[in-house]
Structure 1
Amino acid sequence: DNFGKDGRDWALARERLADPSIAPGPAEIAWARDVFRDLLKIRAGTQLLRLASAAEIRKRVSFPGSGPGQNPVLVATRIDGRGLGGHKAVMTLINVAPRAQVLVLPEEAGARWALHPVQRRGADERVRREARFADGHFEVPARSAVVFVHD
């Protein structure tokens, strides 16, 4: 279960957490709260992010771009919504890198993906400004979680 496996790194974490130069201030805390609230709104309002059973998850969820050539700093999840009403599909991308990342999925060229409506007006200005889809290319900003919808 990997619980406690990072124990050897606790000294490093303790040192970093004690560093006042990286302590978040009120503005950073409020921003993180607002971005998190946006993600909660997306989950609550997007049926495909609340599949009801393991069978539905196995049937509908895939991980495009995964495998031996996968970009190790970018995780993409595609959820197929055909037959459920609502979105035809949802694509989530999580970028843990300090730079923007692009995921190229030729099979999505010609599809009509758009940034989720909550994120289009959300708290994370970087996502509003930099997240985009065009011709099979998903681009997401550094250290972000982005949701695209296909209608």
Structure 2
Amino acid sequence: QHWPLLAPLLANPALRPDPAQIAACRAGFLELLRIRRSTPLFRLRTAEQVRRAVRFFNTGPDQIAGLIVMQLHDPAATQDMLGQVVVLFNATPAPIQFCDPAFGGAELWLHPVQQASADARLRMAAFSQADGCFGVPGRTTAVFVGASRPV
């Protein structure tokens, strides 16, 4: 039903990705697969597990447009396990800083796969434990992980 809109875009040579863009897209996708494989909270199996584990921040009338903040939490995780994951989806072209006192004092770090990302911009994503603030570059999905801690 959308073919009349898409056909001219697909035919436009200016919109055709070059080999470097294709390789970067492939590398980013493979990084996401490695994150999923290495992070059990991304492999919840039932709706009930999802209801218990997932919480969203940046909601309500004061929310930052273009930003989704999702937390996955496993209170049963042992000390050496990653019991908390916070994912920030920044759909805007500009960097965003998101602060929530609920994350103040939390021990979170950029997922190790993303710390070694081929995308230098992604490696700039950061978390400040002191004030619970995340910094996420534009058009970036950043995954932060840490020990289990109720928020």
TM band (smaller chain): 0.7 to 0.9
Q: Please say if residues 100 and 141 of structure 1, whose CA atoms lie closer than 8 Å, have aligned partners that are also in contact.
A: yes
Q: Please say if residues 113 and 149 of structure 1, whose CA atoms lie closer than 8 Å, have aligned partners that are also in contact.
A: yes
The CA distance in 1 between the partners of 2:51 and 2:40, in whole Å, is: 16
Question: More displaced, 77-86 or 29-38?
Answer: 77-86
The one of 34, 48, 73 equivalent to 1:80 is 73
Unaligned runs of 5+ in 1: none
Are 1:131 and 2:90 matched, yes or no?
A: no
Give the CA deviation at 1:68.
2.5
Letter of the 2:47 counterpart:
A
The one of 31, 39, 46 equivalent to 2:39 is 46
Change (3 A) 1:101 1:11: farther
Give the structure 2 partner of residue 102 of structure 1.
97
Letter of the 1:92 counterpart:
V
Identical-residue share of aligned pairs (%): 38
Q: Which runs of 4+ in 1 moved over 4 A?
A: none
Q: Please say if residues 79 and 89 of structure 1, whose CA atoms lie closer than 8 Å, have aligned partners that are also in contact.
A: yes
The TM-score, its normalising length taken from structure 2, stands at 0.87
The CA distance in 2 between the partners of 1:15 and 1:101, in whole Å, is: 33
Give the root-mean-square deviation of aligned CA atoms. Answer: 1.5
Unaligned runs of 5+ in 2: none
The CA distance in 1 between the partners of 2:95 and 2:53, in whole Å, is: 27
The TM-score, its normalising length taken from structure 1, stands at 0.87
What SS does the corresponding residue of 2:57 show, helix, strand or coil? Answer: coil
The CA distance in 2 between the partners of 1:126 and 1:97, in whole Å, is: 14
Alignment coverage as a number of residue pairs: 143
What SS does the corresponding residue of 1:63 show, helix, strand or coil? Answer: strand
The CA distance in 2 between the partners of 1:137 and 1:17, in whole Å, is: 40
Q: Please say if residues 63 and 76 of structure 1, whose CA atoms lie closer than 8 Å, have aligned partners that are also in contact.
A: yes
What SS does the corresponding residue of 2:65 show, helix, strand or coil? Answer: coil
Give the structure 2 partner of residue 19 of structure 1.
12
Q: Please say if residues 81 and 90 of structure 1, whose CA atoms lie closer than 8 Å, have aligned partners that are also in contact.
A: no
1:121-150 CA distance string (max 9 Å, x none): 02221111x200112111111111110001
The CA distance in 2 between the partners of 1:49 and 1:56, in whole Å, is: 11
